[in-house]
Amino acid sequence: MRLRLSSQWRAGVAAAAFALGAPALLGACSGQADDSGDDGPAGTIAAPARPTVPDVVSDETGVYPDRVVFGQSAALSGPNAELGVGMRLGILAAFEEANRTGGVNGRRLELRSLDDRYEPEPAIANTAAFIDSNEVFALIGAVGTPTSRSAAPVAASAGIPYVAPFTGAGFLRNDDWTNIVNVRASYAQETEEMVARLTGDLGIERIAVLFQDDSFGRAGYFGALAALERRGMAPVAIGFYPRNTTAIKTALLDLKAGDPEAVIMVGAYEPVGTLISWSRNTGFDPVFITLSFVGANALASQLGAIGEGVLVTQVVPFPFDDTTPVVANYHAALNHLASRHGDLEHVDPEPAPGFVSLEGYLAGRLAIAGLEQCGSSVTRQCFLNAILGADEVDIDGFMLKFGDGERITDDNQGSDAVFVTQIGPDGTYLSLDRLTDTGR
């Protein structure tokens, strides 16, 4: 049975979230998509005003004769904006790629995005606004653990698919969810790979942990703690800092006091980059390794020459190697989207390939694969069954495996792959098979 939010419940959630500071944010976002033909924009930064929605062709909202509409709540401003903008860029590239050949089963794909600044209250308000508008088929490309922790239950109560959030938090992989589709490996898998490489490749024994003091940071911290415990180890020092700040001085002092050989960092690019810069300028130079959520391109740009040797775990293929079929197609899709940047907000006229936008592209391609299996009669249940019940989803050689090919299983995560990369002397990333002392 499909669950719906009553109009009274939706209004209550929206009112509560708006009271916590969302009105100015939402009111600042404006724009409507051009619905005239297949060459119209795939995405718009949409205002949450209640629209008149004609011509719905099924009992599912967001499905129209000529289009399927997805919604995204993500950080499009503030200190983590490059993450939301990157995810949006990749999703749009995938959608536009499909739209150029007529869309999916005759319907083009549209993305409507709202800015939540990587804060839970606006994420709730944005999700409620998408639901209340009765215009969105599914949510896609959310950014962050604290925002997803707040928004995912709202989506679940409305029976709306919550696709490819940019987070590896364990709670999104809980067996109880029936509407969540994860693409990426978990933070527990990333931190396990970190500890395995640091201890196995480099023989490091003294490891400290820095984390953002919220649900995201704690998810990564507990993953690192578990990986250390499996080896009879414990952190030699722990530091933490508040979300959406660069207030890391106290954390830096706490880390230095433990005299670590390596520091696992669970945070976003600005605070992580600030701590690395201060550390190296003060002669504190352990191996720094951080999670994929950091925003690799943004981190390398922020650090400049001082970033050489910093390690970053990744959960998508190397986005600069266009000999890989999925990456080659991603590059082509980005180039086409760049030619249309004048039609779309938050699209750089010369977008550089990167790990975040590649993850967004994979998210968009997965959504397309689910829709393709449903034919002309698109429903949310068919969409979820098509993805979560598939034996495998092959995205140009990047394989996702969710179910057993017959039914939805408890596994709602498609990929377990974790890769290790390093910032090179020229600020570009290198893909590593093994860590070496000379590679630092």
* Mean predicted confidence (pLDDT) in 104-126: 96
What average pLDDT score do residues 174-179 get? 89
Domain limits for position 256: 187-314+419-439
Mark whether 358 and 231 lie in a shared domain. no
> pLDDT value at position 43?
57
Is the domain of 57 the same as that of 135?
yes
The string of pLDDT tens digits covering residues 32-43 is: 333 333 334 455
For 67-94, what is the mean pLDDT?
95
Q: What is the CATH number of the domain that holds 274?
A: 3.40.50.2300
One domain, residues 176 and 42: yes
Lowest-confidence region among 29-43, 153-167, 256-270, 405-419: 29-43
pTM of the predicted structure, to 2 decimals: 0.84
Q: Is residue 2 part of a domain?
A: no
Task: List alpha helices for 167-259, DSSP H.
Answer: 187-202, 215-229, 249-257
Task: For residue 9, give the amino acid letter.
Answer: W
Alpha helices in 37-118 (DSSP H): 81-99
Indicate if 258 and 300 belong to the same structural domain: yes
The number of CA neighbours under 13 Å toward the Cβ of 398 is 28
- 245 and 358 together in one domain: no
pLDDT, tens digit, 9 for 90 and up, residues 243-297: 989 999 999 999 999 999 999 999 999 999 999 999 999 999 999 999 999 999 9
In this structure, the answer to whether residues 173 and 53 fall within a common structural domain is: yes
Least confident of 315-324, 387-396, 401-410: 401-410
Do 174 and 263 lie in a common domain?
no
Which residues are CB-contacts of 24 (< 8 A; sequence separation ≥ 6)?
Answer: none
Torsion of CA 271, 165, 4, 45, to 10 degrees: 70
175 shares a domain with 31: yes
- By the 8 A CB rule, do 311 and 429 touch? no
